[in-house]
Amino acid sequence: MALLENMRIFVRVVELGSLSAAGRNLRMSPAMVSHRIQQLEAHLGVRLLNRTTRQLQATETGMDYYQSCLEVLEAVERAHSGITAGSGVPSGSIRVTAPLGFGRAVLAPLIPDFCAEHPLVELRLRLSDHLLDLLREAVDVAVRMAALKDSSFVVRKIADLRRVLVASPAYLSAHGQPTRPADLAGHNCLLLRFPGTQQYQWSLLDGGEPVKAPVSGKFDADDGDVLTGWALDGRGIALKPLWEVAAHIRSGALVPILPNHPPEPITLAVLYPHRALVPAKVRAFADHMIPRVRASLTSLSPDALL
C-alpha cells in the first residue's frame, strides 16, 4: 500500500510540476512529498525527477515510470470500483468542484446530509468560477454552469437555467434604460472575466434566435458574487442566473432589463470522467445531489428552471 501511495504522489508531482503544488493537492507538506518521492527513488534505484532551484522535471526514466504508474493506478481504481459497486457501499475520498456562488448557496448546505447517508465517503469541496481541468486537478466530480461540449466526460444534466440582465434603480435613473441589445454598448457592463479573455459579448435571444451583443465596462471580476454586489451598488448591468438574483428582484434592489431579449439559458450539470466502471462514491454523489439541487433552486426562484 505504501508503494501505491508513493506512486500516486509521484503522479501528482509530475502533473502539477512542483512538490508544493502536489502537497496542496494531496494535503501534505512539501517536505513529506519530497520524502515519499525519495523513498520511491530508493526503492527503484533510479532518479525519477531532476530538481533545480527554479523547476522540477521528470527524467526520461521518470516519464516512462509515470506512464506505467497511470496504468497501475487505473487498474487499481477499476478493481476497487468493481468491488464497491458490487457491494453497493460507496467509500473513499471524493473531490468535487463547483462555481463559487452556487457552491456556497446551494451545494454546500446539501453535503452534510450526503455524508451522513454515506459515512464511509470523505468529501472535499473546491469552489471556483474558473473551469478547472478535471483530470489535471484530480477532480472526481464537477458541477458546472456552462455550455457543455466536451464528450470526454459523462454529463448528467440537472436543469437549464434562466438568466437575466439586471441593474439597480439608481444606475438606470442615472444612465437610462436599454431598450434593445445594441444599447448595451453604451452602458457599463459588469463582466465575469478570466485571464486571457480578449473580448466579451453576451448572447441574447431576439424572437427566439440568439444575437451577439458586444459589451464592455470598467469593472470585471472572476467571482460572480462580486458582480452581484457591484450591481446592487449601482455600478452597472450584470448578467446573472435568475435564481441568484431573484430575491433582489423581489425586493426591488435590482430591476430586470431587456425582458424581450433575455440571455440564452445556461446548462447546469454534473460531470465526471468516462470510466468502464463508475466508482460507487461518484454515482452516489450524482444520484443524491441532482434532485435536491433542482428542489433547492426552485425554492429560491420557482421560475428559475426551464
What pLDDT, in 10s, does the model give residues 236-261? 999 999 999 999 999 999 999 999 99
At the fourth CATH level, the homologous superfamily of domain 94-150+278-300 is: Periplasmic binding protein-like II (3.40.190.10)
CATH number given to 163-257: 3.40.190.10
The total of other beta-carbon atoms located within 10 Å of residue 223's CB is: 16
| Mean pLDDT estimate for the chain | 87
**pLDDT above 90 (res 172):** yes
What pLDDT, in 10s, does the model give residues 2-56? 888 999 889 888 877 888 888 887 888 989 999 999 999 999 999 999 877 667 8
Q: Which residues pair with 51 in a beta bridge?
A: 56
Q: What is the rounded CA–CA span in Å between residue 255 and residue 248?
A: 8
Distance of CA 111 to the CA centre of its chain: 16
Q: In a 3-state reduction of DSSP, which class is residue 266?
A: strand
Element containing residue 33 per DSSP (H, E): helix 30-44
The b-or-e profile of 6-30 (16+ CB within 10 A means b, else e) is bbbbbbbbbbbeebebbbebbebee
CATH class for the region spanning 2-85: mainly alpha
Question: Does 163-257 match 94-150+278-300 at the fold level?
Answer: yes
Q: In a 3-state reduction of DSSP, which class is residue 21?
A: helix
Arithmetic mean of pLDDT, 154-168: 94
Higher pLDDT, 76 or 83: 76
| In the chain, where the domains are located | 2-85, 94-150+278-300, 163-257
**pLDDT above 80 (res 81):** no
Burial class (CB in 10 A: 0-12, 13-18, 19+), 221: middle
